[in-house]
Amino acid sequence: MTETAVATATLEVRGLHASVEGKEILKGIDLTVRQGETHALMGPNGSGKSTLANVIMGRPGFQVTAGEVLFKGEDILGLTTDQRARRGLFLAMQYPVEVPGVSVVNFLRTAYQSIKGEGVSALAFRKHMKEKMNMLAIEDAMVSRYVNQGFSGGEKKRNEILQLAVLEPEIAILDETDSGLDIDSLKLVATGVAQLVGPNLGVLLVTHYQRILNYITPDFVHVMINGRIVKSGGEELAAELEKKGYEELRKELGIEENGGDAA
């Protein structure tokens, strides 16, 4: 008996250029992330990492001037953010927003129904959410509170990971998930992500520091400087960056501080 081949969801970024208020930030990005793979996108502050995450997810305020973003073979640049989410994409934001008056559980149920397009009963959804909460060791009290209101930095990021677990996307972009976290919070958040990584989830982990990679082992590491991916490799590249720093890599590759290529 032959097994039926299961299609792998693939996110492809091809020759992507994007600007903010007329200033070019992304200067020709090529990147492919497949379901089941974990990619780390590293780079100094201001290199364009978060811009790439926001452009992929369709956040307003970013102008794509060239290139394309394909998901499962479809050009998604003309789609709204919620349409991209329904296709199977997810973005965990660097700065999660507060939603006063809306509890986490109601927010998650509404998002789940919107993305899955199913009339899920309250009981069935509660069971699904509770399974994910148990997996991530998230207490009941958190989901009763209003979304991110009064949450610590660590709680906000854990709430993002709970959303990721509940919504079950095929490709997730985690934008600076480790930003502003102390060591204990980082370990909790990173361990949660590591539990979700598997054949059904592709991850693009955007980070400035190597420390989150102590808990999540990437299959691929990419370095972005001045709006371009300048080097790619395996997990050893992250360790090399930790040792040398971005400035040393910039010199090695002949990249000028102002974004041009050194002669």
Q: What is the pLDDT of residues 200-221, one digit of tens each?
A: 999 999 998 888 898 999 999 9
Single-letter residue type at 15: G
CA separation for the pair 206, 239 (Å, rounded):
16
Backbone angles phi, psi at 199, to 5 degrees: -65, -20
Question: Residue 73 pLDDT > 90, yes or no?
Answer: yes
Task: Give this prediction's pTM.
Answer: 0.90
- Using the structure block, give the residue that is written with the tokens 């361990």: 191
Q: For 35-57, what is each residue's pLDDT tens digit?
A: 999 999 999 989 999 999 999 99
Q: For 171-181, what is each residue's pLDDT tens digit?
A: 999 998 888 78
Does the domain at 10-253 match CATH 3.40.50.300? Answer given as yes
Helix/strand/coil for 213? helix
Amino acid 258: pLDDT = 56
CA separation for the pair 254, 90 (Å, rounded):
35
* 5 band by pLDDT with thresholds 50, 70 and 90: very low
Helix/strand/coil for 23? strand
Going from N- to C-terminal start, the domains of the chain cover 10-253
Amino acid 7: pLDDT = 63
Tokens standing for 190?
Answer: 């990173």
CB contact burial 120-148 (16+ within 10 A = b; e otherwise): eeeeebeebbeebbeebebeeeebeebbb
